[in-house]
Each structure stands twice: as C-alpha cells, then as structure tokens.
Structure 1
Amino acid sequence: MSGAAVPAGSRELRRHLGLFDAVVIGLGSMVGAGIFASLAPAASAAGSGLLLGLALAAVVAYCNATSSARLAARYPQSGGTYVYGREQLGDFWGYLAGWGFVVGKTASCAAMALTVGSYVWPSQAHAVAIAAVVALTAVNYVGVQKAAWLTRVVVALVLAVLAAVVTACLTSGATDAARLDVGADASFGGVLQAAGLLFFAFAGYARIATLGEEVRDPERTIPRAIPLALGIALVVYAAVAVSVLLVLGPHRVAHTTAPLADAVRAAGLPGLAPVVRVGAAIAALGSLLALILGVSRTTLAMARDRHLPHTLAAVHPRFQVPHRAELAIGAVVAVLSATADVRGAIGFSSFGVLAYYAVANASAWTLAPDEGRPPRTVPIVGTAGCLVLAFALPLASVLAGVAVIAAGAAAYGLRKAIAHHA
C-alpha cells in the first residue's frame, strides 16, 4: 500500500513506515528501557546467575516475537495483542491483553521518564521527567514520521555509547573471568526472577506490531522487523552484560544505580562516565518516545471498540495520529512521573506485559496452518514462560499486577452486565 495521505475524514492511519524505521522503533523501545534500568535489580535477584536470566528472558521473548509476528501479519492493525486476542480467543481475552499492556506500559513510561530525570538532574528528577513526557507527547502529536526520525538518531547515539562501554571494559586490565562463574548465590528462583525483570528490557519489539496500520506492506515488513530488532537487542545486551560483569562482578552490579558508569570508572576511564550518563538519558528518552507511541495506539484500538472512552478513538485530520489518546496517555504518565519509583515500576510493568504476551501466544496457538501458525512448541513455551516469569517476580509486583488485572476484568464484567440490562 502506498504512503499517500489519507483523506481528512478517514479514521484510519497513514502507512509510511518501512522496514528500517520499523526495526529502529523496536530498538528504540528496547535499548533504553533495558540495559540502563534492568541490570542492577536482575543482579540483585540472581547474583552471578544474571546471564542465565538474560538467556531465559531471550528465549521467552523469541517465542513471543515469533507468535506476535505471525499474528501481526494476519492482523495488520493498531492494537497488537488486543486485536489478536479479540479475533482469535474472544472479546474478553483481547480486552484483558489490552488492559495489561496499557497499564503495564504506562508504568514503563513513568520509569523511563524518571530515568531521564535521574541522569540529567538528579535533584530535580521528577520535574525533568514531567518535562520529558510533555516534550515527547508533543513530538508524537505532530506525526509518527517525525517520531521515527528522532528515534533513528537516538538509537545511533545509544549504540555508539554502549559500544564505547564494551570496548573500555574489555580492553582494560580490570576484567576477571571468574566473575562470570555461576556460583552458589544463583538460585533457581533467583534466576527466574532475574529473567522476569530482564524481560522488561525485551518488551519493545511489540511496538512494531502496535504500529500495524502505519507500516507499508505489513504482511512482509512486520514479520521481518520484529525478529531483526529482537536479535540486535539481544547481541547488544549480552555484550554489555558480560563486559560489566567482567569488571564489576555481580555483587557490585547489584548495589549500584549506574552500573555502566561505574564499570567504565573501574576500567580506568572515569572521563567516559559523563558520556555514559548522557547516553543513558538519551536511551531513556528514545524508549519513552516509542512507549508513548505504542500505548496510545493500543488505547486507540480499545477506544474504537468502546472498552475505553470512545472519544479517544479520534484520529487527527491533519497529522493522522490518535491525538486524544496520546494526550490522555501523556497526562497520566506525567502524573505518575511526579510520584512513581523507578525500580518498583519495572516489576509491575513486567507482570502486565507478560500477561499480555501470554494472550499473544495462546492466540498464535489457534491459528490454522494456512494462516501462518508458528511451530506448536513456540506458543507452548511462550505461554508457559510468560506465566512462570510473571509469578516469579518480586511479591509486591505480583500482588499489584494481579490486583490491577483483576480490577480490569471486573470492570469488563460490570460494563457487560450494564449493557445487558440496558
């Protein structure tokens, strides 16, 4: 389909993103959220088993990516698993997936905004976070094409900073291979919890699927872009995690709020630490940009079906974006950014997004062979992995996640009951 402008009265979005931009948007969603935010809590949970947790998270993410890619090719619409669950499993499961995604990713937005604030101006982190949310909501409001261009710049800068960190660590005399050994401090439960926390770092590839109405030739582009973005992110994460562990060891990684900056200092290059801080802020901005983009598209899809206020389904006649959904999400994230805690948001977000992908894998299982169904082991491993990792998260995150998902289910039931008796 061409990238021509959509008529002003249309309620559909414009298709003008190619393979490169789709991959970049997926990478922008992942690299900022993961490597700067997840390493320390994962090391705290698993110690020297952090790398096992990363591998396990990658396996689950691969299954989710494969299921999502097959479904996105069949349903190239905004909304991602909300649409897939609705079409393959029924209205309730689609709604529950969408609810888990919107709530979980809204928490991710706040975590990323606060990460920006903590690196740019630690004493005014909340104020900087709110300013970042306002600025990036404005960028998204004037069109996804501008957002994709900005994300391309952000990804290039962040990958350059991460390459500098890896090089500095691996070429220093501070490395010790013994620090990679999985010792007695790596319990099975700890590795599972680390995998659940590190999954937060992989969740961005779905942003490609939620942009299904804005990608050219989605049947070909989306299934290619998702595994490409995931594979690049995995290579980057593994290189950075190994490098940092070689220099700091798992105990020091677990007890720092800035493991990458501490690693380059320990490697004998303290002058590189400010560059890493800037890179972290840029990475978090890139992630926040793509997160707001993805949450607003799922909100648009749910509002179209009246699971959320229908006024949020409006598409701007000039910019061809769901402007009311973007403004609503931006306002909620700004409020959360004034009160939230970065680390607590990671676990809560992971629970909601793992629930979302459990529905995606179950939906992929129901595809017929001629509909692009993945090998049966993929949705089985994906569904089981999502559920195991979700309930292996810290107890506070599990309790909060269960409560919010249950509240969403109750709201769905109440709305159906009122509609039935109306």
Structure 2
Amino acid sequence: TPSLDEMVYIAQELERQNLNFPLLIGGATTSKAHTAVKIDLKYKNAVVHVNDASRAVNVVSSLLGDRNKEYVDDLKSEYSEFREKFLNRQVEKDYVSIEEARQNKFKIDWNNEEIFTPNQLGITVVENQDLRELLPFIDWSPFFRSWDLHGKYPQILEDEVVGAQAKELFKDAQVILKRILDEKLLTAKAIFGIFKANSNETDDILIFDENNDQKTKFITLRQQAQRSKGKDYLALSDFIAPESSGKTDYMGAFCVTTGFGTDELAQEYEKANDDYNAIMVKALADRFAEAYAEFLHKKVRTEYWGYANQENLTNEELIAEKYKGIRPAPGYPACPDHLEKHAIWDLLKVEENIGVYLTESLAMFPTASVSGYYFGSPHAKYFGLGKIAEDQLKDYSVRKGIALQEARKWLNPNLADGI
C-alpha cells in the first residue's frame, strides 16, 4: 500500500536531516521483510519492526537501556542476514512470460456454456437499509480477532483460555449493538449494478450498458509464477465470456457502507473518556459492513441477477462461501490493484449516489465500507495472484494508461522484485 512507500520516505528524510532517534515500524500491512529490505538500509540508526503493539514497551526499553548500542547492532545484523536470505529466495523463483501465461489460462467451453440472463440490468441504489435485517449475516469471528482474541464463534465463548474474556466482550458488544439499533445511530447505504460484459485477449473485462455502449473496462492481472505442467494461470477475466465467443456475459459491481454515524457515536464516547466503547462502535460498524456485503450479494444472486434463485444456505454456509459465484475486491489477493476502485466509482457514481469516497491512498471513507465485483459463473473461484514479472507490469501500465513508475508503486508488493 502507499503507506509502506511513505515509511521508506520517512526513513530517507531522517537520514538526510542527520537525525538520530529510533524508527519503529508497525501496522497491519507491515512486515519484517519490508522493514529489512526496504526501510532499514535507508537509515543508519535503529529501525525496528514491531509486529504487535504489546511488544512496543519492551522494544523501547531496549532502545533506552544501558546496552542499547549492542541491541541496535544485533538488530542491524539480524536484518542484514534476513535481507540476504530473502533476496536469495526471490531470485530462485521462476516466472513464465505474460504471453505464455495467457496461452495457458483457465479455459471454459463457451460454445456449450449456458449464461444466465439477469432479471435486472443497470444500477440500483439503497438509501437506508434496516440494520436488523443484517444481524443474521454477521460473522462474529473477525470481531474477536480485532480484539486479539483468536477462535471461531460461538466456540470461542467456551474456550478454556480466552472464553471468559470473549463472553465479557460479547456481552458489552450487545449493549452497544442494542443502542445502535434502538436509536438508529448508524445509516446503511448501498449501490450496485449488473451489466453486460465480455473479456478480451489482454485480460480486460469490457463493461457495456443496455444499449451495448462500452461504459468502462476492468483491468485484471494474471498469475505468472511458474506452475507445474497442466496447471492454469488464472485471471479474473477468465470467468467472463470473451468477445470472440459471440456471447453476451454479465458482471456486477457494488459498494456498501454502514459507516455513516460511526465517527459521531465514537466521538461521543471519546469525549466521555470511554475509549473502549469508542473502539467497540467502530468494530461493530465494520461487522455490519461485512454483513451488508454478504446480505446484498445473496439478494443479487437470488433476486436481482437471479442465477441462484433456489439457494437456501445457512449463515455458516454463507461465511464458508458455499454459494455460486464470487465477489472479489480490489486490493485483495485475486485483484490486488487498488487503482481499479476508480473504475467502480466512475461506473456506479458511488460518491454522488451514496456518499462513500476514496481517499488519496484509495481507502474508502467511511471506513466501514466494502466494495468489489460480482461474478456469476459457476466456474468462478477465488485465487491469489502471487508475484508478477516485469513484462506484465509494462503490459499493465500500457493497458492502464499510466506511467511505469506509477504502476510499480501500486503493484510493488506483487512484483517479482518487490516486497
């Protein structure tokens, strides 16, 4: 993400200005690899990756202690050794050319493939979704993980180690949840669209309106890390009928939010010095957003698109993604390019219709929001793109119409020579 590049820049500035205080690196997207390979070399003083906030006190104590020079020297040595091993591993991996990967893509017999015509095409806006309808779709397991309690709900409530703490947390959550529902403190909105679509030979998905005028294109990326013989090199475009098939296929895009009202409610608790419940509000808003994404996807599958109108799955089966079709999101393993959010926003007019906007680093605001694509093909499946080679990066920058340097910045974690 762009924040990782900013960390490298900060280290360079500390060095340029000849400053000498330690630099601690932390956050969900950070790693020892990125710290050792990208940041540590930029700054002669201490650079420490702190993978958990609970370790920060010990790290700072070591940096302030009598043996701090020894601690920093050991750390520099450890990162140097790690860096050498990491870079050696990267060199060992082989990649096929983008042409070869495309020749060995996932193939569907489109001549014999039945494509379901959606019940409704175009864009639909939902102004105020009832949160109570979303309750059965909440996946509580990530809620506990956000509080560093690991286990599957509801079993975690009886866990020998964290069960008592999990029960107390869940009880507190229900109190805030009840207030949110009773007082209607959060507003849920959504926008989605279902469109005619076809793929082309360069892994793009072309989106058309009901009059067959092209509205946009989604640029997908293809796996390139060498696979065993007979294995496919996947791209999301494989799940959409190609133009050459002569068939019209379909694809959807969406954005949901349950974040309106979250900041105001959290600030109310913060002003009362109640940080615990301020954090609780944000955690619950996030759970509602994911639940809304699950709820809306079901409505699309069974009603608006209708290709799964006989579906009857439990919440556990929904969480396990037992349904037909997928809803991958830009920034996630199958499509790690955050820039593609712009195409969704332009196609659906997301900000104009429901008020969710993209920040400079392409995060969504309100943060309790989810966006992505809808694929209805029974062949569609989730996968990880992995690393890509320089030839696909160049190909992508041309297709995207951006400078190679800009493409490298956004796709750095997925580059064969990136972190």
TM range (shorter): under 0.3
Q: TM-score, normalised by structure 2?
A: 0.25
Answer 1 or 2: which has greater helix percent: 1
Answer 1 or 2: which has greater strand percent: 2
Q: Of the two, which has the highest radius of gyration?
A: 2
Q: TM-score, normalised by structure 1?
A: 0.25
